[in-house]
């Protein structure tokens, strides 16, 4: 190999590492829960999942406050989101972007087979957040698929990239990944009721008045979430060992959040965001790693 080729490989390697580091910085600033779970992943998968989170987070910031607080209009936010989608699509094809977060995600996409079949629904859901029209049931289901279920499918591509699966097992894994993503999103809908209504003017629960939500209505929503969590839990044994503990920890954390939401009166959800204290998060992560059934994981 010539010195020029060696130098070129060194330069792209440095650029790739800088891009991955930028993704780790994003998750470090935005998520203690997801960040904690990713630490349980094997090194390669951990880096890949962080690149997915970072791209998703940046897109979310365009539609959920940061861009607006910077003075951008709805039309300008939409244009920025469209530009980010174009840049992501092109980077997956080319293998390079001047945006470090996009570059890191594109590398993961090329390695694991993530394509526009997953990224397009995601960006469509982000675009829907810029539309003030109220949601109906079908619209919420479509939104949850694009904003959360496809993220589960992207992460699944990382988990199983080196472990070929039978078509039957792949269907089960994809169903579990979608269920877990949907559960995460629904839990966060309930946790963010006040901010969604007061700051963003959104209601992701058509037919339910956020001002007068009853405990019965809240618990019916939680029953649906818990069904998703149960469906995801049944698939955990099929996930490769290098990723299973992390997914188990994330599942258990949101199961705990669901339980805390169930114990919180509906009227209080409009004034306080339910959370799991950091020490309890650590115990959940330890339980996923070293609990009674950890040997099976």
> pLDDT grade, residue 105 (50/70/90)?
very high
Share of the chain above pLDDT 70, in %: 94
Three-class secondary structure of residue 201 per DSSP: coil
pLDDT at 35 over 80: no
**What value does the mean pLDDT take over residues 145-160?**
97
Q: What six digits make up the tokens of 205?
A: 């629960």
**Residue 296: its pLDDT value, please?**
46
- pTM over the 0.95 mark: no
Residue 293: what pLDDT? 52
Q: Is the pLDDT of residue 162 over 80?
A: yes
Rounded Cα distance, 173 and 238, in Å: 7
- The CA-atom distances, in angstroms, between 56 and each of 26, 34, 166, 217 are 10, 13, 29, 30
Q: Are 108 and 51 contacting, i.e. CB atoms less than 8 angstroms apart?
A: yes
For the chain, the average pLDDT equals: 91
Query: Which residues have a Cβ under 8 Å from the Cβ of 80 and sit 6 or more positions away?
Result: 62, 67, 72
Question: Can you give the pLDDT at residue 297?
Answer: 41
Give how far Cα 19 sits from Cα of 6, 74, 82, 87, Å.
20, 29, 21, 15
pLDDT for 187-222, tens place per residue? 999 998 888 887 788 889 998 988 889 999 999 999
pLDDT at 26: 93
Q: Distance between CA atoms of 69 and 63, rounded to whole angstroms? A: 11
Please check the confidence at residue 3 and state whether its pLDDT lies above 70: no
Mean pLDDT throughout 95-99? 97
Predicted pLDDT at 82 = 98
Q: DSSP H helical segments within 31-73, as ranges?
A: 32-38, 43-63, 66-69
When pLDDT is averaged across residues 98-115 and rounded to a whole number, the result is 97
Average pLDDT over every residue of 46-65: 94
């Amino acid at each position: 190999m010539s010195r020029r080729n060696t130098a070129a490989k060194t330069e792209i390697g440095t650029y790739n590492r800088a891009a991955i580091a930028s993704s780790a910085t994003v998750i470090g600033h935005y998520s203690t829960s997801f960040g904690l779970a990713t630490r349980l992943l094997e090194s390669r998968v951990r880096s890949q999942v962080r690149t997915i989170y970072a791209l998703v987070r940046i897109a979310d910031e365009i539609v959920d406050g940061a861009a607006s607080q910077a003075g951008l209009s709805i039309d300008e936010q939409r244009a920025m989101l469209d530009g980010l989608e174009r840049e992501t699509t092109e980077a997956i094809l080319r293998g390079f972007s001047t945006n470090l977060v996009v570059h890191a995600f594109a590398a993961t996409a090329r390695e694991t087979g993530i394509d526009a079949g997953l990224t397009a629904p995601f960006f469509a859901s982000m675009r829907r957040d810029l539309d003030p029209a109220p949601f109906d049931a079908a619209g919420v289901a479509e939104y949850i698929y694009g904003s959360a279920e496809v993220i589960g499918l992207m992460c699944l591509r990382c988990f199983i990239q080196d472990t070929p699966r039978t078509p039957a097992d792949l269907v089960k894994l994809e169903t579990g990944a979608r269920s877990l993503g949907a559960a995460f999103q629904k839990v966060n809908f309930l946790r963010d009721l006040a901010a969604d209504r007061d700051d963003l003017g959104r209601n992701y629960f058509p037919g339910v008045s956020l001002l007068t939500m009853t405990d019965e209505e809240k618990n019916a929503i939680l029953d649906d979430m818990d069904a998703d969590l149960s469906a995801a839990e049944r698939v955990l044994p099929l996930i490769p060992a290098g990723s299973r503990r992390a997914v188990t920890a994330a599942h258990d954390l949101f199961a705990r959040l669901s339980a805390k939401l169930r114990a919180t009166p509906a009227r209080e959800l409009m004034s306080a965001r339910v959370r799991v204290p950091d020490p309890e998060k650590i115990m959940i992560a330890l339980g996923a790693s070293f609990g009674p059934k950890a040997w099976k994981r």
